[in-house]
Amino acid sequence: MRNTRRFTLFLLIVSVVLSMSVLHVFADGEDTAAPAETVEAVETAFSTDPATMTYDDAVALLEYVDTLDDGYEAYADEHADAIDRAGYLINKEEVPFYATFWALLPPIIAIGLALITKEVYSSLFIGILIGGLLYSGFNPVGTMEHIFVDGMIAQLSDGWNVGILIFLVILGAMVILMNRAGGSAAFGRWAQTHIKSRVGAQLATIALGALIFIDDYFNCLTVGSVMLPVADKHKISRAKLAYIIDATAAPICIIAPISSWAAAVSGFVDGVNGLDLFVRSIPYNFYALLTIVMMIVLAAMKFDYGPMAIHEKNALEKGDLFTTGTVKAPEKAEAVNEKGRVIDLIFPIAALIIFCVIGMIYTGGFFDGESFIDAFSNSDASVGLVFGSFIAMLLTVIFYCCRRVLSFKDCMSALPEGFKSMVPAILILTFAWTLKGMTDSLGAATFVAGIVEESAASLLSFLPAIIFVIACFLAFATGTAWGTFGILIPIVVAVFGGDMNNEIMIIGISACMAGAVCGDHCSPISDTTIMASAGSQSDHLNHVSTQLPYAITVAAVSFVSYLIAGFIQNAWIALPISIVLMVGTLYVIRIITAKKAA
């Protein structure tokens, strides 16, 4: 019956959007403005004040820029404001819903449907479909072109995205290799004698997640593969394991100066020392710091609340690690390799960490004379992780063959198996990236940026809390923390003139980063959330629904903390207050939960 209702809801939504497309009257496709034919028109466009630029000026300007080859970057840098304004005017004229609240409708619908129907693939695609319809003005042909050409194909042609997919496949293959070599089983046997409680298993997972701080993708899949047998042995639900993995991924990376996230944040800041700004913002990153506090307190106090409590109770009392409402068919288990030792797990993981770091600093120019810090700040994480993971996989194959725990043929057969294990994550990532492309093309970033700029002048002391909320919502709707950084951080720096001595700017930057991580943490279309589910082998929507109350609790305390910090403007006073508020909130929740259970 439930599946019938979900399918009926799906058909109803598709019918509505298709009906709106049928009602569309096809445009003749001709441009509304004549091309710029004279040098005078181009010069007029360049000399025009961006604030007074007309649509015709914008068309003339961009047509001229499109004719440039080698000189494009120089012109783009010199006339950045004019080019941005021209793009805005053309989009505003040609895209009916550009830079309005409607730009946020596709991700809102996708997320809402995913939570209601518990079916993520169709929900994401409906969000993509609605984004395409809004962009094309409900033109069916334009919708198809925008979804598949401008959206899906463009996303899968993007070098960064392809690098992440290759990294996923290699990690999937390495997980299969470690399992077949018996490394994971050997670690499980070791853990049985050294990690003797559920609390110890949770704290060990948190500690491992904190140690792997260089990249959130790497963190999710590595911690999941290492700690899964330990968590299963101590009957920790997959939802709880997914939460711990997710909560030690982005929240750890965003407070680690040597990480791909620090490099990304530094890259979004112009005119000031990005790394110095990042380091100074760490004590104000309340969401990340309080998330770590919450995980430790929950493990130490031995309690859970919300949907997570149900999952943990079923795991502990019934041995049901999934709580999906359906009986899972048991998978065919592979025979345990008795030759496996703990070194067969440690060696691949150590090789991954070492060579991923080397790969990242290599892409940043370390071997061309750049300092370690500068190389990490300028690194291309996508390429660096591919280089590092490939070398680590190659060394792992050689290591296993030399130790005779696996034959070369067995090692090679792990490659397609690793790919197959990552297909669900790859499919969701593809849809999530495409949905982000839809919101970008509809001007969601421009719409949110306008809200921030309007609120900056009149609500200075409240600005960090406002920025936090806006960043949360934007990252939740788009599923990308990095995209949120790229939108909001330059705005915050510009509002305060890049003054590093202005403490409220430091707090505002930190609020932007914290809100982005919070929204990313909550969002079912976030790539980090997706990979936390993949790393823990948890049902994705179970992970989202159980994690959401925890993330909202930390977000609420963080919001209050930013209100306090906006007035106090001293990290070493505001941070202890926020920690006390967090622990006190959890203690109150525990009392309320205990009374309800009594």
Clarify whether residues 110 and 13 are in a common domain. Answer: yes
Is residue 7 located within the same domain as residue 104?
Answer: yes
Average pLDDT over residues 576-580: 96
The answer to whether residues 21 and 45 belong to one domain is no
Residue 131 lies in a domain: yes
Give the per-residue pLDDT at 67: 67
Task: Dump pLDDT digits (tens) for 354-403.
Answer: 898 898 889 889 899 888 877 876 777 778 888 988 999 999 999 999 99
Instruction: Report pLDDT for 19.
Output: 56
Long-range contacts from 584-589, C-beta under 8 angstroms, 24+ separation: 585/553, 585/556, 585/557, 586/294, 586/297, 586/298, 586/301, 586/553, 589/305, 589/553
Average pLDDT estimate for 516-524: 91
Residue 326 is encoded by which pair of tokens? 């359906």
Q: For 267-283, what is the mean pLDDT? A: 75
Same domain assignment for residues 19 and 45? no
Q: How confident is the model at residue 25 (pLDDT cuts 50, 70, 90)?
A: very low
Please state, as a whole number, how many other Cβ atoms lie within 10 Å of the Cβ of residue 536: 30
Could you tell me which of 493, 486, 505, 487 has the C-alpha nearest to residue 447? 487
From CA 409, how far away is CA 419, in angstroms rounded? 17
**Does 61 map to a domain?**
yes
d(CA 353, CA 345): 13
Same domain, 109 and 90: no
* Pick from 32-41, 518-527, 560-569, 571-580: least confident: 32-41
pLDDT at 12: 60
Give the integer Cα–Cα distance in Å for 159 and 52: 37
85 plus 106 within the same structural domain: no
Total residue length of the chain: 598
315: pLDDT confidence band, cut at 50, 70 and 90? very high
Give the residue, 54 or 479, on which the prediction is more confident. 479
3-state secondary structure of 162: helix
Nearest-angstrom CA–CA distance, 565 and 460: 12
Instruction: State how far the Cα of 335 lies from the Cα of 315, in Å rounded to an integer.
Output: 25
Query: Alpha-carbon distance 127 to 125, whole Å?
Result: 5
- 43 & 76 share domain: yes
Tokens describing residue 353: 């960490």
Residue 26 has pLDDT above 50, yes or no: no
Q: Are residues 49 and 150 in the same domain?
A: no
Last residue of a domain, one of 116, 136, 157: 157
Q: Do 103 and 151 have their domain in common?
A: yes
Give the end of a domain, one of 114, 133, 157.
157
Residue 403 region by backbone torsions, left for phi larger than 0, else alpha for psi between -120 and 50, else beta: alpha
Q: Residue 511: is its pLDDT beyond 70?
A: yes
Q: What is the mean pLDDT of residues 175-194?
A: 80
Name the one residue in this structure whose structure tokens are 């179970």: 542
Other C-beta atoms lying within 10 Å of the C-beta of residue 72 = 12
Which tokens hold the place of 238? 């997959």
Mean pLDDT check: name the lowest of 123-127, 188-192, 232-236, 524-528: 188-192
In a domain, 205, yes or no: no
| 15/20 Cα distance (integer angstroms) | 9
Burial of 102 from C-beta contacts in 10 A (0-12 / 13-18 / 19+): middle
Token pair recorded at residue 27: 């445009």
Amino acid identity of residue 206, one-letter, is I
On the CB side of 464, how many CA atoms lie within 13 Å of its CA?
31
Q: Are residues 88 and 105 in the same domain?
A: no
Cα separation values, 484 from 476, 490, 573, Å: 10, 10, 28
Tell me, yes or no, whether 166 lies in a domain. no
Q: pLDDT confidence of 13, banded at 50, 70, 90?
A: low
Radius of gyration of the chain (CA): 25
Average model confidence (pLDDT) for the chain?
80
Lowest mean pLDDT of 98-102, 120-124, 240-244, 549-553, name the range: 120-124
pTM over 0.75: no
Over 90: is that where the pLDDT of 340 sits?
A: no
Task: Read off the tokens for 54.
Answer: 């007309």
pLDDT in tens, 410-433: 999 988 988 887 787 788 778 878
Give me the pLDDT at residue 443, please.
83
Indicate whether 46 and 85 sit together in one domain.
Answer: yes
State residue 261's pLDDT score: 75
Confidence at 106, pLDDT banded by 50, 70, 90: confident
Domain that holds residue 83: 39-94
For the chain, the domain total comes to: 2
Q: Is the pLDDT of residue 330 over 60?
A: no
Closest CA to 210 of 272, 287, 133, 289: 289
**133 in any annotated domain:** yes
Q: How many CA atoms lie within 13 A of 493 on its CB side?
A: 22
Task: Establish if 145 belongs to a structural domain.
Answer: yes
Is the Cβ–Cβ distance between 180 and 414 less than 8 Å?
yes
Helix, strand, coil fractions of the chain, as percent rounded to 5 = 75, 0, 25
pLDDT exceeds cutoff 60 at 43 = no
The answer, yes or no, to whether residue 569 has pLDDT greater than 70, is yes
Amino acid at 426: I
Contacts 24+ apart (CB under 8 A), 403-409: 403/339, 403/344, 404/339, 405/181, 405/182, 405/337, 405/339, 405/340, 405/344, 406/177, 406/180, 406/181, 406/337
> At a CB cut-off of 8 Å and minimum separation 6, what does 1 contact?
none
Lowest-pLDDT range of 255-264, 341-350, 464-473:
255-264
Above 50 in pLDDT, residue 27?
A: no
Percent of the chain with pLDDT over 70: 76
Q: Are 23 and 138 in contact (CB under 8 A)?
A: yes
The answer on 89 and 107 residing in a single domain is no
What pLDDT score does 397 carry?
A: 95
Higher per-residue confidence, 576 vs 476: 576
Query: 35, 57, 56, 59: which is closest to 48 by C-alpha?
Result: 57
Say how far apart CA 206 and CA 170 lie, in whole Å. 24
Structure tokens, 503: 């403490």
What sign does the dihedral 35-40-45-46 (CA atoms) show? positive
23 occurs within a structural domain: yes
Residue 321 covered by a domain: no
